[in-house]
Chains A and B, each alone.
Chain A
Amino acid sequence: MQTDTKSKVDQTTSPAGTPVTVLRFEGDISSASKEAVIGSYQGLSKTTAKTILLDFTKVEYINSSGIALVIQLLMEAANSGQKVLAFGLSAHFTKVFTMVGITKYAGLFPDQAAALATV
């Protein structure tokens, strides 16, 4: 019954010339999203993917189990020396991510351009 989460990997470059990997999620992010969130992150090269953007633009529902997966991703990224930013969260989920403290480890931005402008 839980909706599948789709994920897609894109490569782009920031205006400052930094190579950036974008993980784009679509659907719900819940306990059923481990492969889409953690699996797709772990599929990235730790040597080339130094800056990662998480795109939540097409995500409508995130529950606490889904937030836990994002925290797990941030933990693995921190241990690998990767920088993670996120964009596209609704105002509500921006508030929820802020409440649980994720903003301390991942900057939240309204859109991709705003996130890319900082790296």
Chain B
Amino acid sequence: MTSTAARTTTVEVRLPSRLGFEKVAMSTAASVAKLMGFRDERIDDLKTAIAEACINAIEHGNRLNEKLSVGVVLSAGSDQLEIKVMDDGKGMKQQPTKPDIDKKMHGEEDPRGMGMFLIQALVDEAEWVVGTNGKGSYVRLVIRLDKEQ
């Protein structure tokens, strides 16, 4: 499950496409981030970001098809943690947009649809990569260790 190459340690998890299993990725990522020395506040940010990425992969990527799994790869470097969340969907082509609470409150915008915004707001880098031939799409997240940590 764990391999070390150069200065990067990699941990991989495969989740069933069933809502609720994002918490397995959250706890794994939290454990890795804790070992790396991230502050609790940053770990909370990471947990929410990775949960939203996994939920998107389960719901939109794999369309809740339990025959498909969601891959989560955590690559711990000396100063940052990179996470890739992979599914069998066609990928997210739209960019995250800031939710408009007034529009939501007036029924002009779906109350849902905040996942990508939260991901982008809570990590240092977020990138949605569309796979070729409609396969191999993933979201890539990065959080960096603060210098004072």
A residues within 8 Å of B by Cβ? 1-3, 30-32, 61, 63-65, 67-69, 71-72, 74-75, 78, 90-92, 96, 99-102, 104-105
| Residue with the greatest number of chain B CB neighbours at <10 A, chosen from A74, A78, A99, A104 | A99
- What residues of chain A lie closer than 8 Å to B18, measured between beta carbons? 1
Cα(A29)–Cα(B105), bound, Å: 19
Cα(A100)–Cα(B105), bound, Å: 12
B residues within 8 Å of A by Cβ? 18-23, 41, 44-45, 48, 51-52, 55, 99-102, 104-107, 110-115, 117-118, 121
B104 touches A64 (CB 8 A): no
A68 touches B101 (CB 8 A): no
B101 touches A64 (CB 8 A): no
B101 touches A2 (CB 8 A): no
Q: Which of A3, A64, A92, A104 contacts B114 (CB 8 A)?
A: A64
**Residues A92 and B48 in contact in the complex (CB < 8 Å), given A64-B115, A75-B105, A101-B101:** yes
Cα(A69)–Cα(B110), bound, Å: 11
| Residue with the greatest number of chain A CB neighbours at <10 A, chosen from B99, B100, B102, B121 | B99
Cα(A105)–Cα(B111), bound, Å: 14
Cα(A67)–Cα(B48), bound, Å: 12
A42 to B: closest C-beta gap in Å? 16
